[in-house]
C-alpha cells in the first residue's frame, strides 16, 4: 500500500468511529465542498433517515457555504437540499428579501441568477448576508464596473463555478471591457497556474461568447 492510499483508509477509520448521523453530516459537507451534488444528496438522504432535523441540515449547508463560498451552493448545495426535499422558507417571509434582491440586480443592470434566488428562499439569513455583501461591492462608484465583473468572473471560475464566471465575463464585455484585457488576465492565469489553470477554466472564459 502506498502512502497516498493510506489517506482514504484513515478517513474511513475515523468515519467508522463517529455516530452515524455525524458521519453522514460530515460526508455531506465534504461532498458539497468537493462540488459533488450526487454524493451530497445521498449523504443528506442518510441524514434524514437518521431523523436529524431539517434545521440542522440547513445549518450544515449554510456553514459550508459561509466557509467555502457561494460557489459551493451553486455547484452542489442547492441540488442536495432540493433532492432531499428540504422545505424552503415560507414564501411570505422571504418576499421582502426577494424584492430587495431583484431591485439590487436591476440597479446593476443584471438579473437574479436562479441559484441565488433559490438561496434566498431556502436559506434566507444567508441570502440576506449575500445581498448586503454584494450591495457593498457594487456601491463603490470609483471602480471600473467592467473590471469588477472581470474580477468576479475570474474568482467564480477559479472556485469551480465556470458558468458563473462566464456570466460575469459576458457582463464585463457588455460594459466595454476590451478583449485585450481578458487576454492579459488569462495570460496571468497561465503564468501562475500553468496549463492546468487554462484547462480548468481559462479556456472556457476565453471561449465565452459575447451577449
69 by Cβ neighbours in 10 Å (0-12 / 13-18 / 19+) ranks as middle
Calculate Rg over the CA atoms of the chain: 19
Residue 56 has what pLDDT? 85
- For 90, the grid coordinates are 415560507
- In this predicted model, what pLDDT tens digit does every residue of 83-138 receive, in sequence order? 776 666 666 688 899 999 999 999 988 999 999 999 998 899 999 999 999 999 99
- In this predicted model, what pLDDT tens digit does every residue of 23-59 receive, in sequence order? 889 899 999 999 999 999 999 989 888 888 888 888 8
pLDDT category, 186, cuts 50, 70, 90? Answer: very high
pLDDT category, 155, cuts 50, 70, 90? Answer: very high
In the DSSP assignment, the letter for residue 76 is I
- For 180, the grid coordinates are 485585450
Would the pLDDT of 202 be above 90? yes
163 by Cβ neighbours in 10 Å (0-12 / 13-18 / 19+) ranks as middle
Residues in the chain: 211
Range scoring the smallest mean pLDDT among 62-71, 76-85, 131-140, 172-181: 76-85
Alpha-helical segments (H) within the chain: 3-16, 20-33, 37-49, 54-68, 70-72, 78-83, 91-107, 114-122, 124-138, 145-158, 162-174, 179-197, 203-206
Considering the entire predicted model, what is its pTM?
0.84
The second-level CATH assignment, the architecture, of 3-83 is Up-down Bundle (1.20)
Q: Which residue has the cell 487576454?
A: 183
Amino acid at each position: 500500500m502506498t502512502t497516498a492510499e493510506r489517506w482514504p483508509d484513515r478517513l474511513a477509520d475515523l468515519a467508522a468511529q463517529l455516530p452515524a448521523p455525524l458521519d453522514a453530516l460530515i460526508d455531506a459537507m465534504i461532498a458539497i465542498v468537493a462540488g459533488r451534488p450526487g454524493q451530497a444528496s445521498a449523504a443528506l438522504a442518510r441524514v434524514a433517515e437518521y431523523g436529524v432535523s431539517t434545521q440542522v441540515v440547513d445549518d450544515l449547508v449554510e456553514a459550508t457555504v459561509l466557509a467555502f463560498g457561494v460557489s459551493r451552493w451553486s455547484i452542489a448545495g442547492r441540488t442536495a437540499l432540493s433532492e432531499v426535499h428540504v422545505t424552503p422558507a415560507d414564501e411570505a417571509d422571504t418576499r421582502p428579501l426577494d424584492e430587495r434582491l431583484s431591485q439590487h440586480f436591476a440597479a446593476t443592470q443584471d438579473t437574479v441568477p436562479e441559484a441565488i434566488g433559490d438561496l434566498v428562499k431556502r436559506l434566507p439569513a444567508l441570502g440576506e448576508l449575500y445581498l448586503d455583501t454584494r450591495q457593498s461591492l457594487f456601491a463603490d462608484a470609483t471602480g471600473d464596473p467592467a473590471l469588477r465583473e472581470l474580477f468576479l468572473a475570474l474568482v467564480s471560475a477559479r472556485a469551480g463555478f465556470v458558468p458563473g464566471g462566464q456570466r460575469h465575463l459576458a457582463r464585463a464585455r457588455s460594459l466595454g471591457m476590451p478583449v485585450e484585457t481578458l487576454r492579459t488576465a488569462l495570460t496571468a492565469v497561465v503564468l501562475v497556474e500553468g496549463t492546468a489553470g487554462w484547462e480548468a477554466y481559462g479556456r472556457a472564459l476565453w471561449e465565452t461568447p459575447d451577449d
